[in-house]
Structure 1
């Protein structure tokens, strides 16, 4: 990973994979020990449609990546951020009433 000045750094995150097929399943970072970050493609249960779409880290997107602008997308609820938003993933889920507790 490179920062804005081009300096390389390594991540302390640990990626976890399926022992049978090798698919990336989830990520753990000791920086946030209470969290596990599943890869969206590994979720195999039905989920409700999201109340809004959020595109982040657009400053670093590939030139070929097509990100529809809010006025081109169908309906309201599209947000774009050049880097990470201030709102956390947990806060986003709380704001939309979608945070589930075990």
Structure 2
């Protein structure tokens, strides 16, 4: 599925192809919460890095999160004007890029279930929208985005 995305102010526009476009993985980690989700969560999608096409790349800034006093090699791409969270890229997995669902303008498919991860990092005042059938994890699940799509026969 081709995904069309942009920042809030429109200075960065991008497209990318994804075999795994269901926005099901809700992350409550302190990095996602503080850089993009406030008290809520961030949803990562999975896409093919080689298909990423960007207009307005000069308006992007990159943030490397600090994890346990170490700098993460993962690059969180943001618009330097409106601060919109665009995608995450990590050279350890060079074929993948993870656009943030909030930056996608394409109509995304509705997932049949959701995975709530990093609930151990969730702010205590956040009421997570967990429904019957949703999976819940204090940290990261062992099932990848691709495996979740395969298990539910949802690959595009």
TM over 0.5: yes
TM-score bin (small chain): 0.7 to 0.9
Highest CA radius of gyration, 1 or 2? 1
Cα distance in 2 for residues equivalent to 1:59 and 1:65: 12
Cα distance in 2 for residues equivalent to 1:23 and 1:61: 21
Cα distance in 2 for residues equivalent to 1:37 and 1:19: 19
**Alignment length, in residue pairs?**
91
Q: Which of the pair is proportionally richer in strand? A: 2
Match of 1:36 in 2: 97
Match of 1:59 in 2: 120
- The alpha carbon displacement at 1:24 in A equals 1.9
Match of 1:94 in 2: 150
How large is the Cα RMSD of the aligned pairs? 1.9
Q: 1:19 to 1:99 in 2, by over 3 A?
A: farther
Q: Which of the pair is proportionally richer in helix? A: 2
1:16 to 61, 77, 94: 77
Cα distance in 1 for residues equivalent to 2:78 and 2:120: 28
| Secondary structure, aligned partner of 1:92 | helix
- The alpha carbon displacement at 1:19 in A equals 6.7
Using the size of structure 2 for normalisation, the TM-score is: 0.52
Cα distance in 2 for residues equivalent to 1:10 and 1:18: 21
Match of 1:47 in 2: 108
Cα distance in 1 for residues equivalent to 2:87 and 2:69: 24
Match of 1:84 in 2: 140
In structure 1, the gaps of 5 or more residues are none
